[in-house]
């Protein structure tokens, strides 16, 4: 839990996603839906991405954000949500892993 | 995600109200559930649990997989009275994850010197609570012993349905307080929610020990929210 009782509007991914939407941007939202072992960000954490690859928030503390952003730009185009899985034991499926040894599942969907 | 769901969710979060975004991971459809909304079956039970714990996660129900993203406001503690107990309570509450604010119009008590690094208001509760209203994710502990300062805040906490309300004083002191709160228009059921004498009964004697008892009772109240009302045993 944070020290503030109010939302940090300048850094809150869901607030930023709403602002982007109002600006007419296409947006994808990535959400950590499952973690195993030592994972840097808890279930429910968000990364929000626009069609140009700009992003806010985090799903892993930096390990897999690059791959999520790439996928998200595709998903903005297709509109089809996807479930991504990352982990050290999964390097054949994904060329990125979590150095902490954990595994995470990230759901990526288009806004609207 | 449905843009309307996102707008609704952000509005609830800004207003410090709990909400859960329920997403069907099969077809991607989602909706917002507010605390108190009735949802039937296994999904409803999982939603109720997520509101209590604040934990997000997946749940299997009705042959589908749903992801529940629980957005609970940050709980906080408002203390009426810049007294010795509050000096001990302030750092403890911060460590436990309950940001604390202190309100006391007596400027000799409410000094930054006595309360370093604490949100401190040397004002009457009426004035502070008008700017920053209490809500159901706020706990209130009234520890001044002075009805002029405590009573208004206690009545406001009852009306705002604060998740925890405690008031310092013996049973005899509290009996008089009950009379005054009735006169202010509080109902007997409302007044029964006040913990007085304040704090879990751990035999606390010193101000710091009383602070532990207050904090423990606050945590218990937060983690068992809604259990009484639904008659469920965790």
pTM here is: 0.80
Q: How far is CA B88 from CA B57, B80, B82, B195, in A?
A: 36, 14, 11, 19
In a domain, B36, yes or no: yes
Among B2, B10, B94, select the one facing A18 at the smallest CB separation: B10
Q: Are residues B218 and B179 in the same domain?
A: yes
Q: Are residues B131 and B81 in the same domain?
A: yes
B92: enclosing H helix or E strand:
helix B84-96
How would residue A95 be classed by pLDDT, with cut points 50, 70 and 90?
low
- Side-by-side strand order, sheet with B64-71: B30-34, B19-24, B64-71, B57-61
Q: Quick check: B123 contacting A, CB < 8 Å?
A: no
Q: Are residues B33 and B91 in the same domain?
A: no
* Domain tally, chain B: 2
Under a CB-based contact definition with an 8 Å cutoff, are residues B129 and B153 in contact? yes
Q: How many CB atoms lie within 10 A of CB B63?
A: 6
In a domain, B31, yes or no: yes
Q: Enumerate the residues of chain A whose CB falls inside 8 A of the CB of residue B13.
A: 7, 14
In a domain, B230, yes or no: no
**Gap from A77 CA to chain B (nearest CA, Å):** 15
Q: Are residues B67 and B125 in the same domain?
A: no
pLDDT > 70? residue A3? no
Torsion sign (Cα): A94, A98, A104, A106:
negative
Read off the pLDDT of residues A9-35 as tens digits, 9 standing for 90 and up.
889 999 999 999 999 999 999 999 999
Distance CA B29, CA B183 (A): 51
pLDDT > 50? residue B230? no
Pick the last residue of a domain from B51, B71, B91.
Answer: B71
Work out the end-to-end distance of chain A between its first and last CA atoms, rounded to an integer number of angstroms. Answer: 30
According to DSSP, residue B195 is labeled B
B113-130 mean pLDDT? 96
Coil vs helix vs strand at B91: helix
B3-12 mean pLDDT? 97
In a domain, B180, yes or no: yes
Read off the pLDDT of residues B100-121 as tens digits, 9 standing for 90 and up.
999 999 999 999 999 998 999 9
Distance CA B5, CA B10 (A): 9
Chain B interface mutation, best of A3, A12, A14, highest count of B Cβ atoms under 10 Å: A14
Among A3, A21, A34, select the one facing B99 at the smallest CB separation: A3
Q: Are residues B8 and B60 in the same domain?
A: yes
In a domain, B147, yes or no: yes
In a domain, B131, yes or no: yes
Distance CA B9, CA A49 (A): 18
pLDDT > 90? residue B32? yes
**What are the structural domain ranges in chain A?**
13-110
Q: Are residues B116 and B156 in the same domain?
A: yes
Q: Is B176 left (phi over 0), alpha (psi -120 to 50) or beta?
A: alpha
In a domain, B234, yes or no: no
Chain A interface mutation, best of B29, B69, B133, highest count of A Cβ atoms under 10 Å: B69
Beta partners for residue A28, in sequence order:
A49, A110
Among A4, A15, A109, select the one facing B74 at the smallest CB separation: A4
Q: CATH number of the domain at B166, please.
A: 3.40.50.720
Query: Going along A10-102, which residue ranges are E strands?
Result: 27-36, 46-50, 55-57, 82-87
Return the structure tokens found at B224. 């068992």
Q: Quick check: B14 contacting A, CB < 8 Å?
A: yes
Pick the last residue of a domain from B11, B38, B71.
Answer: B71
Q: How far is CA B171 from CA A23, B9, B144, B174, B221, in A?
A: 59, 43, 16, 5, 21
Distance CA B10, CA B22 (A): 14
Q: Quick check: B10 contacting A, CB < 8 Å?
A: yes
For residue B51, the enclosing domain spans 3-71
The pLDDT value given to residue B229: 44
In a domain, B100, yes or no: yes
The residue written with tokens 């009950």 in the block is B178
B17-36 mean pLDDT? 96
The pLDDT value given to residue B24: 97
Q: Are residues B38 and B132 in the same domain?
A: no
Residue B92's closest CA among B202, B198, B212, B213?
Answer: B212
Torsion sign (Cα): B7, B11, B14, B19:
negative
Q: Are residues B93 and B41 in the same domain?
A: no
Distance CA B37, CA B1 (A): 21
Pick the last residue of a domain from B48, B71, B94.
Answer: B71
Chain A to chain B Cβ contacts (< 8 Å) = 59
Beta partners for residue B76, in sequence order:
B138
Q: Are residues B118 and B171 in the same domain?
A: yes
Read off the pLDDT of residues B154-190 as tens digits, 9 standing for 90 and up.
999 999 999 999 999 999 999 999 999 999 999 999 9
């Amino acid at each position: 839990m944070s020290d503030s009782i109010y939302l940090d509007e300048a850094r809150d991914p869901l607030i930023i996603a709403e602002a982007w939407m109002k600006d007419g941007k296409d947006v994808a939202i990535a959400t950590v839906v499952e973690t195993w072992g030592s994972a840097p960000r808890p279930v429910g954490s968000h990364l929000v991405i626009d069609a140009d690859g700009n992003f806010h928030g985090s799903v892993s503390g930096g390990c897999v954000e690059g791959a999520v952003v790439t996928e998200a730009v595709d998903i903005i185009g297709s509109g089809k949500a996807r479930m991504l899985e990352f982990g050290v034991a999964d390097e054949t499926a994904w060329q990125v892993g979590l150095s902490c040894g954990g595994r995470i599942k990230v759901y990526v969907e288009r806004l609207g | 995600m449905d843009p309307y769901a996102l707008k609704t969710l952000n509005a609830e979060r800004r207003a410090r109200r709990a909400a859960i975004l329920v997403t069907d991971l099969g077809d991607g459809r989602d909706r917002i559930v507010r605390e108190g909304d009735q949802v039937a079956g296994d999904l409803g039970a999982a939603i109720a649990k997520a509101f209590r714990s604040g934990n997000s996660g997946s749940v299997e129900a009705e042959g589908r997989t749903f992801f529940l993203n629980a957005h609970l406001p940050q709980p906080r503690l408002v203390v009426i009275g810049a007294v010795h107990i509050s000096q001990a309570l302030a750092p403890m509450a911060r460590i436990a994850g309950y940001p604390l604010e202190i309100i006391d119009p007596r400027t000799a008590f409410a000094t930054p010197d006595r309360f370093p690094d604490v949100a401190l208001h040397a004002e009457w509760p009426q004035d502070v609570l008008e700017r920053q209203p209490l809500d159901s994710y706020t706990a209130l502990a009234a520890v001044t012993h002075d009805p002029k300062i405590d009573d208004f805040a206690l009545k406001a906490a009852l009306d705002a349905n604060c998740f925890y309300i405690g008031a310092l004083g013996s049973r005899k002191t509290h009996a008089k307080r009950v009379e005054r709160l009735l006169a202010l228009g509080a109902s007997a059921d409302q007044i029964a929610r006040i913990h007085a004498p304040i704090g879990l009964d751990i035999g606390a004697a010193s101000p710091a020990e009383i602070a532990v008892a207050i904090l423990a009772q606050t945590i218990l109240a937060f983690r068992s929210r809604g259990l009484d009302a639904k008659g469920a045993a965790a």
